[in-house]
Amino acid sequence: MKTVGLIAEYDPFHNGHKYHIEESKRISGAERAVVVMSASFVQRGEPACADKFTRAEWALEGGADMVIELPDLFSVSCAERFASGAVRILSGTGIVDSICFGSETGDTEALKRIAFSEPDERLLSEKLGEGLPYPKALAEASGIKLGPNDILGAEYIRAASKYAPGMEVFSIQRMGSRYDDSELAEELSSASAIRHALKNYYGETKMSPAVFDALSRALPRHVLNSISELMRTGSFPASLGELSEAALYRIRASSSEELSKLPEVSEGVENLFVRFASSADDIEGMLAGVKSKRYTMARLKRIVCCSLLGITKELQDEAAVNDEALYARVIGVKKEASFLLEMLNYARIPVIVRSSDREKLPPLAGRSEQISALAHRVRALGQPYDKSVEQDASHRLIVR
């Protein structure tokens, strides 16, 4: 029985994600879809809008057959490491035959050519010198216009070629809104537009009728009902702004030398963090002061998140090359998905289903898992009112 692997964040889960799951199964010929999903913090350097258990339930109701955690050690990292970490975990399950991702072009062969193209080295060096991230610099040096999901797709392709050469790769063209559109569309709105709507129309106890009506066309009903309840209890959406005091404390409590050991910190930007953290009233003010052409806002936010979670450059560097950092923590599975037993037999990395499984992890994977457990607790501090949290290990496997 074929299994397709998907890499997602579901921040939140929307109609486009449902379409992605359905189309991935169709074009790959797979009967089941395994999703590796960012845990508590997402790649753009923000806490996920809802906790990983809630988002896993959304995905299972929306067509996924199994949801596996992408440890925060990988999710809060650059595109290359985000992609390679996810692909290595999917490969390590021993049951995934292919991966399928969404992209602006939807042209898998074109993205393969881009992924393995030989760019003008002089122009590539020039673009990198301007502060562009490697994937975007590579695209521009190759004279190719790529969207953000195309760039991430090229990273998935490179990672699959290196770590899972036998795995097929498919791409689906994104439908509806661009990933960064801030306006809601009829049915296929972007996660950015949905978050924007929720942030701007958030009420103290309930969603306004107007935004509820607009979101009812963008979100599956089970997700909208869940979000409405979470908003009522004050636990949605989590945001970096709500973590402002904690984040400023971490930066102010750190020396320039300590900050220089965080991932993606270079060229003395740690000194700017120290300078603006001392004068800023909140995390947005600090980030505005540090922001420059050489540093995207997402990169700066990831640095802040790494500071909050104790993720160092040394640890992330080792995890990027050492498979002993990998594990497959199964968050949820469909009731009829007996292939969980199949995965337990064929997996090449440790599988966590019960709390006791953590005790068998090798040291590096254990450290990664501890960071994700901490991230689960810290993320809850980013919730609007209800900041309580149940311990990560106490959550049982979700079966739907």
Residue 183, pLDDT > 80, answer no
Q: Are residues 216 and 299 in the same domain?
A: no
Q: Find the mean pLDDT for residues 371-382.
A: 98
Rounded distance between C-alpha atoms, residue 4 and residue 11, angstroms: 21
Q: Are residues 220 and 349 in the same domain?
A: no
Q: Are residues 269 and 295 in the same domain?
A: yes
Query: H or E segment at 273?
Result: helix 269-279
CB 375 within 8 A of CB 302: no
- The residue from 288, 316, 344 where one domain ends is 316
pLDDT digits (tens, 9 = 90+) for 52-98: 999 999 999 999 999 999 999 999 999 999 999 999 999 999 999 99
Q: Are residues 62 and 134 in the same domain?
A: yes
pLDDT digits (tens, 9 = 90+) for 209-235: 777 787 888 999 999 999 989 998 999
Establish if 38 belongs to a structural domain. yes
pLDDT of residue 207: 63
- Smallest CA-to-CA distance from 6 within 97, 79, 74 is with 97
Q: Name residue, tokens 């579901």.
A: 10
Q: Are residues 312 and 336 in the same domain?
A: no
Chain-wide mean pLDDT for the chain? Answer: 91
Q: Which residues contact 249 (CB under 8 A, 6 or more apart)?
A: none
Q: Are residues 31 and 140 in the same domain?
A: yes
Establish if 261 belongs to a structural domain. yes
Q: Are residues 70 and 208 in the same domain?
A: no
Q: Phi, psi at residue 100, to the nearest 5°?
A: -140, 130
CB 244 within 8 A of CB 284: yes
Establish if 8 belongs to a structural domain. yes
- The residue from 316, 343, 372 where one domain ends is 316
- Structure tokens given for 359: 């005790």
Number of Cβ atoms within 10 Å of the Cβ of 211: 17
- Smallest CA-to-CA distance from 167 within 113, 88, 235, 245 is with 88
Amino acid letter at 389? V
CATH of the domain at 334: 3.40.50.620
Residue 282, pLDDT > 50, answer yes
pLDDT of residue 326: 98
Q: Find the mean pLDDT for residues 172-188.
A: 64
Establish if 181 belongs to a structural domain. no
Number of Cβ atoms within 10 Å of the Cβ of 51: 23
Using pLDDT thresholds of 50, 70 and 90, give the confidence band for residue 140. confident
**Per the structure, how many domains does the chain have?**
3
Q: Are residues 90 and 121 in the same domain?
A: yes
pLDDT of residue 16: 92
Rounded distance between C-alpha atoms, residue 363 and residue 369, angstroms: 10
| Residue 381 or residue 147, greater confidence | 381
**pLDDT more than 90, % of the chain:** 73
- Structure tokens given for 376: 């689960």
Using pLDDT thresholds of 50, 70 and 90, give the confidence band for residue 176. low
Q: Find the mean pLDDT for residues 108-118.
A: 84
Degrees (nearest 5) of the Cα angle 3, 167, 118?
145
pLDDT of residue 204: 45
| Residue 135 or residue 382, greater confidence | 382
Q: Are residues 162 and 32 in the same domain?
A: yes
Cis (ω within 30 of 0) for the bond into 363?
no
Establish if 311 belongs to a structural domain. yes
Radius of gyration of the CA atoms of the chain, in A = 20
DSSP annotation of 192 reads H
| Residue 168 or residue 120, greater confidence | 168
Q: Are residues 57 and 129 in the same domain?
A: yes
Establish if 182 belongs to a structural domain. no
pTM flag (> 0.85): yes
Domain that holds residue 196: 191-233
- The residue from 285, 300, 316 where one domain ends is 316
CA-to-CA dists, residue 34 to 54, 65, 72, 353, 387, angstroms: 17, 6, 18, 15, 30
The strand pair at 41-42 and 351-352 is best described as: unpaired
Establish if 184 belongs to a structural domain. no
Q: Are residues 228 and 255 in the same domain?
A: no
Residue 46, pLDDT > 60, answer yes
Q: Are residues 46 and 96 in the same domain?
A: yes
Q: Name residue, tokens 């924007």.
A: 196
Establish if 76 belongs to a structural domain. yes
User: What is the DSSP annotation of 208-256?
Assistant: -HHHHHHHHTTS-HHHHHHHHHHHHHT-----TGGGHHHHHHHHHTS-H
Beta-carbon-side half-sphere exposure of residue 41 (alpha carbons within 13 Å): 35
